[in-house]
Amino acid sequence: MTTEDLVPRVDPEAVPVDNLRVLGRVPDGASRDEAVAHLAEAARLVRRRDIEMVRAAGLGHIGGEFSVIDILVTLYLHAMNISPDQLADPERDRFILSKGHAAAALYSTLAVAGFLPPQDLSTFMQPRSQLNGHPARTKIAAIEASTGPLGHGLPIAVGTAFAGNLDASARRTFVVVGDGELQEGSNWEALMTAGNHRLSHLCVIVDRNRLQQGARVDETNDLEPLADKLAAFGLEVVDVDGHDHGALLDVFAQVPAASGKPTAVIAHTKKGHPISFMSDNVAWHHKVPSAEQMAQALAELETSS
């Protein structure tokens, strides 16, 4: 593969003109209220761009993207010690999106945060785009690990956190797993390792939207009692409203946990949030909105808090 192969080639007829505003990080010294307002605006921009990308590509996983967006913007615009000009800094915090099918949400967040040129978003899933349907480490500098098949990100995050331990580093590793994804056994192998080695700088975030591709998680192969299971594996478990930016930023600020354990954040979310006809609706796992549905969704986003 040559560098030229990675240059996006866009069919201008197929994609919208890009209109994304780069907000960047919550400014230093912002009050908590100001930070929350900044993150809310970022999340609104990301959701708007996400639905446009899915509509233009005719592909995507909009349900699980809308459930995880508030987590992503809180991490990239506030919680994590990382910036676009320090992507190679060994001491940067790490983020891994194990539920790689929510790639459009990650790409949009990276663009709003300043890690990815907004115009690249228009290439999403176009031929030769860096923006594959699942994130690829070799194509985007800010991606730490290629993901897509479920159950990969958490073991990798454990290794990254382990490296930090060996270096006695303060850097932290955040990984987002889907709740349905926790049916993959590799996650529990990794959780055992994380707990036994007391990887306190690891934060495992479960996007607990309670839906998987075909049905509700509890109708498929239930996870409950999830908090008890995670605690039994040696993690400090915190429940949080995964759409509440203030609650999220408070929780992420607690990593590393005072207990010396890895942190598990069970982020209670809804697939498709906050769009009325998508929210908590299994049909929207990877459905593509019609023009009318997109217009309604964009209108709802303008008025959502």
Partner 1 sequence: MTTITPPAATLHDCRDAWVATLIELAEADRRIVAVVNDSVGSSKLGPFQARFPDRLVNVGIAEQDMVGVGAGLANGGKVPFVSAAACFLTARAMEQIKVDAAYSQHHMVLVGQSPGMAYGELGPTHHSIEDLAWLRTIPGLTVIVPSDRIETAQAIRWAAGAGTPVFIRVSRMGVPDVMPEGYQFQPGRAVELRSGHDVTIVATGTTVSRALDAATSLEADGVSARVLAMPTIKPLDGEALLAAARETAGIVTVEEALTSGLGGAVAEHLATRHPTRMRFVGVPDTFAPTGSVEWLMDHFGISAAGIAAAAKEVLPPG
Q: Which amino acid is at 262?
A: P
CB of 141 to partner 1, least distance (A): 13
Nearer to partner 1, 197 or 287 (CB): 197
Quote the crossing angle between the two packed helices 185-196 and 153-166, to the nearest 10°: 20
CA atoms of 259 and 92, how far apart (whole Å)? 23
Q: What is the DSSP letter of 237?
A: E
Closest CA to 53 of 21, 22, 14: 14
Q: What angle do CA 202, 207, 208 make, to 5 degrees?
A: 120
Distances, alpha carbon 292 to alpha carbons 16, 59, 65, 289, 295, in Å: 16, 17, 20, 8, 5
Closest CA to 68 of 94, 90, 93, 95: 95
Instruction: Decide: 66 and 202 in contact? Cβ < 8 Å.
Output: no
Give least dist CB 52 to partner 1, A.
28
- 56 or 145, CB closer to partner 1? 145
Contact 124, 57 (CB under 8 A): yes
Of 11 and 167, which CB lies nearer to partner 1 in the complex structure? 167
- Give least dist CB 111 to partner 1, A: 22
Please identify, using beta-carbon distances, which residue of 163 and 301 lies nearer to partner 1.
163
> How far does Cα 58 stand from its chain's mean position?
21
Q: Which residues of the shown chain bind partner 1 in the complex (CB under 8 A)?
A: 90, 94, 136-138, 144-149, 151-152, 154-164, 166-167, 173, 185-186, 189-190, 192-193
Least separation in angstroms between residue 105's CB and partner 1 is 20
Smallest gap from Cβ 170 to partner 1, in A, equals: 13
- Closest to partner 1 by CB, 35 vs 97, is 97
Q: Which residue has the tokens 């307002």?
A: 37
Cβ closer to partner 1: 159 or 246?
159
Q: Please, what is the minimum distance in Å from the beta carbon of residue 284 to partner 1?
A: 27
- Burial (CB < 10 A; 0-12, 13-18, 19+), residue 231, is middle
Q: Indicate the SS3 state at residue 177.
A: strand
Strands of the chain, DSSP E? 94-97, 173-178, 202-208, 236-241, 263-268
Residue closer to partner 1, measured from CB, 100 or 180: 100
Cβ 194 to partner 1, closest distance in Å? 10
